[in-house]
Structure 1
Amino acid sequence: MPMTLTVDMSRPVVVRVGARGLAGLEQEIRMTLATRKGAVPLDRNFGLSWDFVDMPLPEAMQRMVAEIGRQLEKYVPRIRVRDIAFSSDAPVEGMLQPVVTVEIREEYAHEFR
């Protein structure tokens, strides 16, 4: 049975320097999702595009799902995206807070046992 991890971006998190295992993987995913594309000087493609800000919510959700899938598969190669939903606990109406469920690729599973 594949190992999965769910990351809810609407929940606060404590960043731990040197985190390993699932905690480290969760931090990698959170960092990718929380970074605006273009903000990292040596890798301007890292992070999520904000091109869908101010779009109608249904269109923004579709674009955000596609962007999350592409960026996580590229920058966190140890995982496979299984599901992307949006938190209903968002503090501001219309604010998209992704809840991402990923599966750890079998060739990397030994790192998490």
Structure 2
Amino acid sequence: MIVDITAKLGQIDFGATGPTEILQNIRTILTTTKYSVPIDREFGLSATMLDEPTPITQAKLTAEIIAAVNRWEPRAQVTKVTFEVDDTQGILRPKVQVKIKNG
């Protein structure tokens, strides 16, 4: 199963299981800033590259997204990362395509 996930906050389903749980976990990874989780300061994505030029930020963020999903949600594999860019508003929102692994 291949699914696209956009880094937007959404409602949490604490009873989620299977693919729904996996996708929700990935969305949480994408929307959490590193050092903001008291129990695990390494969880999430770094914000240190956000003041760099957009192409550099996209490259660094792509690498970080792949590493974070591999680390915290090993039931999924990132197959593609693209970005929604709005330079006038300073928005760079990742859109991540993942393949949910079987078993």
Assess same fold via TM > 0.5: yes
Alignment partners' CA distance in 1, 2:41 and 2:10: 25
- Return the offset for 1:87: 2.2
Structure 2 counterpart of 1:69:
66
Q: Secondary structure at the match of 1:15?
A: coil
CA deviation map 1:83-113 (0-9, x unaligned): 000125x59543111110111123x2xxxxx
Question: Which structure has greater strand proportion?
Answer: 2
Structure 1 counterpart of 2:32:
35
- Return the offset for 1:39: 1.1
Structure 2 counterpart of 1:44:
41
- Report percent identity of matched pairs: 33
Match status 1:105 vs 2:90: no
RMSD: 1.9
| TM-score (normalised: structure 2) | 0.88
Q: Is the 8 A contact 2:80 2:97 kept in 1?
A: yes
Alignment partners' CA distance in 2, 1:92 and 1:72: 29
Question: Which structure has greater helix proportion?
Answer: 1
Structure 1: unaligned runs, 5 residues or longer: 109-113
Aligned residues: 103
Structure 2: unaligned runs, 5 residues or longer: none
